[in-house]
């Protein structure tokens, strides 16, 4: 796949609705949040309310167009650098990528921080692809502040490590314009 930085105007020339994508991503978020422990038999964390709210703000950077690279695609199949077997070119979907920064906090004070990642928008002319676009951002727990405390009764574990992931869906069909 070929990655090329593009301006908003160039993204529009490629068939993407760049102004609408920017508008959808720039939303502030205020939503209910229910904490869940996904570890079977996991030890309870401390310093949070099971039901709270999360507030977040999403900002985005420049766009990158990602498309099948003519060097590796012959119009029928594509040979990707990290795969031994070629793919049908129809499986190599073009998309627009934007780096995102998510600044968040929970109203219970458990966590507050900034996560970085990216959002993707598949090319609108390619069939069978959704009108929504996903975004995900991650931060190291060491960079998150708040009252949330994770601990382990296993004395062999001197320090806990982990990450906090934020997954977003910017839906063109469900949100009012």
Cα distance between residue 30 and residue 106, in whole Å: 10
pLDDT digit string, tens, across residues 27-85? 788 999 888 766 666 566 789 998 999 999 999 989 999 988 878 887 788 877 667 78
On whether the CB atoms of residues 56 and 28 are closer than 8 A, the answer is yes
- Put residue 131 in one of left, alpha, beta given phi > 0 → left and psi -120 to 50 → alpha: alpha
Encode pLDDT of 163-176 as tens digits: 788 787 766 554 43
Helix (H) or strand (E) holding 11: helix 8-13
> pTM for this one?
0.77
Nearest to 166 by CA among 102, 76, 75, 72: 102
CA distance 144 to 111: 6
Question: What confidence tens digit (pLDDT) does each residue in 13-31 have?
Answer: 998 889 988 888 887 889 9
Cα–Cα distance measured from residue 3 to residue 19, given in angstroms and rounded to the nearest whole number: 21
């Amino acid at each position: 796949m070929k990655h090329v930085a593009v301006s908003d105007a160039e993204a529009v020339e490629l068939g993407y609705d760049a102004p609408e994508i920017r508008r959808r991503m720039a939303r502030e978020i205020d939503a209910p949040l229910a904490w869940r422990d996904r570890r079977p038999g996991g030890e309870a964390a401390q310093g949070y309310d099971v039901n709270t709210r999360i507030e977040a703000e999403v900002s985005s950077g420049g766009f990158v167009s990602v498309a099948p690279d003519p060097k590796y695609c012959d119009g029928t199949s594509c040979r990707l650098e990290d795969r031994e077997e070629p793919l049908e070119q129809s499986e190599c979907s073009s998309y627009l990528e934007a780096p995102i920064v998510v600044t968040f906090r929970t109203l219970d004070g458990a966590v507050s921080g900034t996560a970085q990642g990216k959002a993707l928008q598949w090319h609108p002319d390619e069939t069978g692809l959704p009108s929504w676009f996903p975004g995900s951002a991650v931060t190291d727990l060491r960079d998150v502040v708040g009252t949330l405390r994770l601990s382990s009764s296993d004395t062999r574990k001197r320090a806990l490590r982990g990450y906090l992931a934020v997954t977003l869906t910017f839906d063109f069909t469900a949100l009012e314009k």
